Amino acid sequence: MSAGDSRPPSDSSESSGGGATSTSAERDDDDVSIGVTDRFLHDDDGPFMFLREVLSSAGIVVAVGVLLFAIAGVWPPMVAVESGSMEPHMQKGDLILITEPGRFAPDAGDDSGVVTYAEGEDADYRSLGSYGSVVVYDNPNAAGPPIIHRAMFRVEAGENWYDRANPDYITAENCEELEFCPAPYDAYITKGDNNPTYDQTSTISAPVKEEWITGVARIRVPYLGWIRLAFATTAPASTNGAPPTAPTAPTLDFAPTSELPAAERLSPTDVPPKPLAATPA
């Protein structure tokens, strides 16, 4: 500074010193952040490794669930079979992949995506061991979880369907002796493959409306459903009608008898409530 210069001395050295201190603190924070990230990604033991494994496993489960939902169009997309009413084509402990009725629907049948036994026989369409579609339906007027049985034939409101029924699956002598004959509305007559009578001529269900059908069974995987059933047997009983094998519902296991047919009960795998007289998986 010249002799005549009256300006105060510059404090640039202090500013630069302060700036250096601030930059050093930020660098330390960055180092800590990088250190935590590096440990999370690369530690072979300890809490970071445990957290990484938990998060990656959860991510895989979520990804698989999203993929299955995208394919099936219904949740849960899998159910575990709880009883023997669909034997020999479904066994207790089987895991069943279901889809929304309209997905992957065959040419046989109509726009509903459901092919009845009668239609399947005419078109030579088989599903899970016999003609027609195996459907999951939930009667809102009946207690208990949804049911998985085969759609046998369609009826129209007011129809006398006694003559169309297989006489081996009814005990009545005429339409008047059948509770739901004439048909009260357009619907399906259903039956468990291992049951002696139609669901509608026993205490299982009224004729099944199309809107009650929540899914159609597509693929059977033996044994895997036992895992879901094992969890379901320890779950507390549900009072809201949720399916037995949903996370909070108990399983129901009704063995078929000549007096009272069983409903095939299912069990969903760890998922939000509802799809079957079987247990969603």
Quote the pLDDT of residue 71. Answer: 81
Quote the pLDDT of residue 119. Answer: 95
Which residue type, as a one-letter code, is found at position 95? L
Residues in the chain, pLDDT under 50: 2, 10-21, 235-261, 267-277
Quote the pLDDT of residue 162. Answer: 96
Quote the pLDDT of residue 146. Answer: 87
Q: List CB contacts of 90: < 8 A, sequence separation 6 or more.
A: 81, 96, 128, 134, 148, 193, 217, 220, 264
Alpha-carbon span 92 to 152, nearest angstrom: 22
Q: List CB contacts of 228: < 8 A, sequence separation 6 or more.
A: 80, 95, 245, 267, 268, 269, 270, 279, 281
Alpha-carbon span 244 to 280, nearest angstrom: 8
Alpha-carbon span 254 to 92, nearest angstrom: 11
Quote the pLDDT of residue 66. Answer: 82
Residue listed under structure tokens 């799809």: 275
Alpha-carbon span 60 to 191, nearest angstrom: 38
Q: pTM higher than 0.85, yes or no? A: no
Quote the pLDDT of residue 107. Answer: 83
Sign of CA dihedral 163, 164, 165, 168: positive
Alpha-carbon span 276 to 281, nearest angstrom: 10
Supply 42's token pair: 């690369």
Supply 132's token pair: 């027609």
Q: Give the Cβ contact number of residue 52 at 10 Å.
A: 15
User: What backbone phi and psi angles, to 5 degrees, belong to 275?
Assistant: -140, -5
Which residue type, as a one-letter code, is found at position 243? P
